[in-house]
C-alpha cells in the first residue's frame, strides 16, 4: 500500500479544489479501504464551493458517490474482502439514535462519518469507509455507472418511494432533468405512474423521453404550469419532484399540484420557499422534503441497475486532476446526466 495518494481537496467556499498529496488512510478493525475507481460529481459539490452548503469542515476530500475495489479490510469485516468491486454508502450513522434504530441513517443525530460532507470522500485514490457500507456490485455494472447510483439513483429511490410513496396511475412531474431526475423518471415509470419531465434543454429532455417520460415540457419556451395542467386535463400533478429549488420553479411546482398533491423538495438554493396558504389549503396539498438515502435504498438501486431496470446516465469522465473542470461543466449545464472522476 502506498503511503500517500492524490486527492482533490476542498479548502472552503469561493476557492477551487486543490489537487494534493495526502496520507492514505489506515483501515480500522471495522473498516474497508477502497481504491476509488470512479466518483460521481454531484450538485452538492457546487453548493460547497459557493458556500450555500457550509458545514465548516476544511480541508476535506469531497465526493459521496464512490465506486471502487476493496484494497484492505479490518479484522472484523466479513461482508467484503480485498478485490471485491463495491459501491460505498456515504452515511455512517451512530447506530443508536432513534433514526439509526429505524435504519434511517440519513437522519442520524450523531453521524460518525458522512463521506464527502464531514469526512473525506471519493475524490481521491483511496477512501476509508465502514465495512458494512460496502455493497458488492453486480457483475453487469461497471465502476463508472455504479458510482452514479451512489447518490443520484439512491436519492431518487428515497424520494419516490419512502417520501412521496408514488403509486400506479398517478401523474408525477420531475422538475429538473439531471442525475436524480433521470432516475426519478425511471422509478416513477416502474411504479406505474405517468411522468412529465420539465427541463430547460431540448437535449436533456430528449434523454428523459428515452428513459420513459410520457411527456416533456421545455421550461425556457413553454408556460410550464399551463402545459402541465393541459397534459393532466386540468387536474394537475399528484406528485411534483422539485429538483431545482429556485423561487420560480418552487412557485410553479405549487401551482401545478393536483388536489391532495404532494410536493417533494429536493433541490435547494438561497431562495426561500414561499407559497400561498390559500392555494395549499384549498387543494389539501402536502409539502415534503427529501434528503439523501438509506443503505437499504442503495442496495435497491444496485439491484435495479444490475437487472437493467434502472439505467445510469453517464455524463462524461474526467481525470481526478480535472475535478474543477468537471465542476465548471456541471455548473454551466454542459453535462447531461452524471459525470464521474476517475482517480
- Interface residue list for Zn ion (CB under 5 A): 42, 44, 93-94, 97, 100, 108, 151
State in angstroms the smallest separation of the CB of 141 from Zn ion. 19
State in angstroms the smallest separation of the CB of 33 from Zn ion. 22
State in angstroms the smallest separation of the CB of 204 from Zn ion. 18
In the sheet that holds 18-23, the strands lie side by side as 18-23, 4-10, 60-61
State in angstroms the smallest separation of the CB of 152 from Zn ion. 7
State in angstroms the smallest separation of the CB of 62 from Zn ion. 10
Q: Which is nearer to Zn ion, 155 or 232 (CB)?
A: 155
Neighbours of 321 (CB within 10 A): 12
Q: Which is nearer to Zn ion, 179 or 343 (CB)?
A: 179
Question: Among 324, 321, 317, which Cα is nearest to 19's?
Answer: 321
Q: Which is nearer to Zn ion, 105 or 170 (CB)?
A: 105
Q: Which is nearer to Zn ion, 256 or 264 (CB)?
A: 264
State in angstroms the smallest separation of the CB of 154 from Zn ion. 9
Q: Which is nearer to Zn ion, 31 or 72 (CB)?
A: 31
Q: What is the DSSP string of 128-187?
A: EEEGGGEEEPPTT--HHHHHHIIIIIHHHHIIIIIIS---TT-EEEEES-SHHHHHHHHH
Q: Which residues of 107-143 are buried (b: 16+ CB within 10 A; e: fewer)?
A: bbeebebbbbbebbbbbbbbbbbbbbbbbebbeebeb
Q: Which is nearer to Zn ion, 134 or 151 (CB)?
A: 151
State in angstroms the smallest separation of the CB of 48 from Zn ion. 11
Contact 263, 257 (CB under 8 A): yes
Q: Grid coordinates 431526475 are at which residue?
A: 181
Q: Which is nearer to Zn ion, 71 or 204 (CB)?
A: 204
Calculate helix-pair angle for 43-50, 323-331, nearest 10 degrees: 90
Distance between CA 108 and CA 117 in Å, rounded?
Answer: 14
How would you classify the pairing of strands 66-73 and 85-88? antiparallel
Q: CB burial class (10 A; 0-12, 13-18, 19+) of residue 42?
A: buried
State in angstroms the smallest separation of the CB of 285 from Zn ion. 27
Q: Which is nearer to Zn ion, 46 or 280 (CB)?
A: 46
| The three grid cell numbers given for residue 152, joined into one nine-digit string | 443520484
| The three grid cell numbers given for residue 155, joined into one nine-digit string | 436519492
Under DSSP, the state recorded for 318 is: E
Amino acid at each position: 500500500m502506498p503511503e500517500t495518494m492524490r486527492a482533490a481537496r476542498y479548502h472552503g467556499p469561493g476557492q477551487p479544489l486543490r489537487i494534493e498529496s495526502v496520507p492514505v488512510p489506515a483501515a480500522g478493525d471495522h473498516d474497508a479501504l477502497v481504491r476509488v475507481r470512479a466518483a460521481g460529481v454531484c450538485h452538492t459539490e457546487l453548493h460547497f464551493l459557493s458556500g450555500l452548503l457550509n458545514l465548516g469542515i476544511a480541508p476535506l476530500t469531497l465526493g459521496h458517490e464512490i465506486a471502487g475495489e476493496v484494497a484492505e479490510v479490518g479484522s472484523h469485516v466479513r461482508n467484503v474482502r480485498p478485490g471485491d468491486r463495491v459501491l460505498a454508502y456515504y452515511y455512517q450513522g451512530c447506530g443508536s439514535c432513534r433514526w439509526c434504530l429505524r435504519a434511517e441513517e440519513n437522519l442520524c443525530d450523531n453521524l460518525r462519518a458522512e463521506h464527502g460532507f464531514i469526512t473525506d470522500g471519493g475524490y481521491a485514490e483511496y477512501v476509508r469507509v465502514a465495512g458494512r457500507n460496502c455493497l458488492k456490485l453486480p457483475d453487469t455494472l461497471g465502476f463508472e455507472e455504479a458510482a452514479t447510483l451512489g447518490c443520484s439513483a439512491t436519492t431518487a429511490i428515497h424520494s419516490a418511494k419512502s417520501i412521496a410513496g408514488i403509486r400506479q396511475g398517478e401523474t408525477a412531474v420531475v422538475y429538473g432533468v439531471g442525475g436524480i431526475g433521470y432516475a426519478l423518471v425511471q422509478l416513477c415509470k416502474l411504479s406505474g405512474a405517468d411522468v412529465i419531465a420539465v427541463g430547460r434543454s431540448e437535449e436533456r429532455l430528449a434523454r428523459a423521453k428515452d428513459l420513459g417520460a410520457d411527456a416533456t415540457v421545455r421550461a425556457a419556451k413553454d408556460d410550464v404550469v399551463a402545459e402541465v395542467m393541459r397534459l393532466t386535463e386540468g387536474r394537475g400533478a399528484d406528485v411534483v419532484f422539485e429538483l431545482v429549488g429556485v423561487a420560480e420553479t418552487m412557485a410553479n411546482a405549487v401551482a401545478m399540484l393536483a388536489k391532495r398533491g404532494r410536493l417533494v423538495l429536493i433541490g435547494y438554493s438561497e431562495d426561500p420557499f414561499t407559497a400561498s396558504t390559500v392555494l395549499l389549503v384549498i387543494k389539501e396539498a402536502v409539502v415534503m422534503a427529501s434528503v439523501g438515502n438509506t443503505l437499504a435504498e442503495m442496495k435497491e438501486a444496485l439491484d435495479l441497475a444490475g437487472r437493467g431496470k434502472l439505467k445510469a446516465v453517464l455524463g462524461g469522465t474526467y481525470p481526478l486532476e480535472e475535478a474543477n473542470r468537471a465542476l465548471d461543466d456541471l455548473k454551466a449545464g454542459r453535462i447531461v446526466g452524471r459525470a464521474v472522476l476517475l482517480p
